[in-house]
Amino acid sequence: MNRREFVKTIGLSIVAISLLAPQELLAASSNDKIIIHLFCYGGADFRYMFAPTSDNVTFYNTYFDNQLDLIDKDEYENISINSVSHGIKKNNVSGLKDMINNEEIAIIPNIWFSDNRDHQHSIARNLLGDNDNYTKSTSEKDGWMGRIAGELQKNSVTASNNWIFATRTNTYENSKSINISTMRPFGITNTNNVVNKALERYYKTETTENPIVKNLVNIERGLKSFSDKINSKLSGTNRVNIDLNSGYLEGQVTNLFDAIDCRDIFNSNYFHIDFPGWDFHGNYANNANSKIPDVFGNNGAIDVIKKELSKRGLWNNTTLIISSEFGRQLKQNGIEGKDHGHGNLMFVAGGNVSGGVYGDMFPDSELELWNKVGGEIEGKTIGYEIFGKIADNIQLGLGEKVFPAYKKGLIEEDFDLYKS
């Protein structure tokens, strides 16, 4: 194999491995508060899981009469949140109900990120965490989670191949953003993998005086050292088994626990995972009901994350965010679906999170919007106001460093996001 063929074969993998070699990635973590952002992109209508109760007759009838093909009153039951009764789906959300009953999930209604209904623009507004109009490409921006990591001299980790900029800490390059989406399939924790064998064969035909080969030798040594640390950390532990309908989300959640267990090696406590496919313009009920259990059901993603981190004694130190770029319009369209709308719900969970609903889930001011074309959930809280609270929980004052507009934006109901 000549040098060009060799580099072409493994070049991308070598780049990925080289990110793991610098010494700063091997430093121990000094602040063990963890952030996990589960981003459900496509415009996930999280309010679909809730409904007004019959106590509010006008809203109750309006809500169900305008979505006859999507939901049925019998699908909901009452649940008490902050001593207030709310309707919630009976099925497929037991993980969410458990967190509500344990008062460890904050529900922020009427959240918004973007002033339009375009996916790319709204995704950028969420993951970058500011109110820029995005005349610039996201390649010139750093994600808010990456900015938190950068301020604290840490790295950030993504288990996804999408929206890598969400964890980027240095504009135009990703030296502190670690992608673990293919860590095990590639064999990075196995020094007897295909790349090492290829390198070994190649070294036999080239002198180590060659600067290119020297660089490859150093990368191989860094890989082996890194792999030894990973293997030592994970040895004797069983990989977490999670059985979801989506193999994509299942793989990310599984990798997430490996990354959390190795967070001192990665020098990172900030993790991004995503779950695509929520853009249901038609056949809404069937599509939504097939995806909701993977996130909110018994042994769904948030349920397993809570259980596994509780076993590790980390749940009280964890902030788990579940968000989307926008929600859906109020009324169903003509093909039993719902089109893009600005407002939505966002969830923030964790053992130290103050559970409750922070805002009016079904405000009376919304009633008149049900009769308007394009009527949507009103945006009353801008996303970065919540992200800023999360940053301040990591380190007081960090919110205003990472989010320049923090404490200046719209917020429906100010509140303490954390118990202590």
CA atoms within 13 A on the CB side of 314: 21
> Is there a contact between 375 and 330 (Cβ–Cβ < 8 Å)?
yes
> Is there a contact between 332 and 338 (Cβ–Cβ < 8 Å)?
yes
pLDDT of residue 175: 59
Residue type at 174? N
Q: Whole-angstrom Cα distance, residue 114 to residue 128?
A: 11
pLDDT of residue 10: 35
Q: Which residues pair with 259 in a beta bridge?
A: none
Taking CA atoms, 205 is separated from 7, 51, 192, 224, in Å, by 15, 69, 19, 21
pLDDT of residue 30: 42
Show the tokens assigned to 30. 């000094």
> Is there a contact between 376 and 330 (Cβ–Cβ < 8 Å)?
yes
Indicate the domain borders of the chain. Answer: 27-188+241-402
Dihedrals φ, ψ of 133, to 5°?
-80, -5
Q: Which residues pair with 341 in a beta bridge?
A: 327
Q: Are strands 177-179 and 50-51 parallel, antiparallel or unpaired?
A: unpaired
88: closest CA among 30, 129, 47? 47
Q: Whole-angstrom Cα distance, residue 147 to residue 386?
A: 16
pLDDT of residue 46: 97
Q: Which helix (H) or strand (E) holds 38?
A: strand 34-39
- In the chain (420 residues long), the average pLDDT of successive 10-residue segments reads 38 39 39 93 96 93 91 95 96 98 98 90 89 58 89 87 71 61 51 60 60 75 78 81 93 91 91 94 93 98 98 97 96 92 97 98 93 93 97 97 94 96
Tell whether the torsion through CA atoms of 298, 300, 303 and 308 is positive or negative.
positive
pLDDT of residue 286: 93
Cα angle vertex 360, ends 354, 364, to 5°?
A: 170
* CATH fold of 27-188+241-402: Alkaline Phosphatase, subunit A (3.40.720)
pLDDT of residue 232: 82
Q: Is the whole model's pTM more than 0.85, yes or no?
A: yes
pLDDT of residue 1: 42
Q: Whole-angstrom Cα distance, residue 351 to residue 335?
A: 41
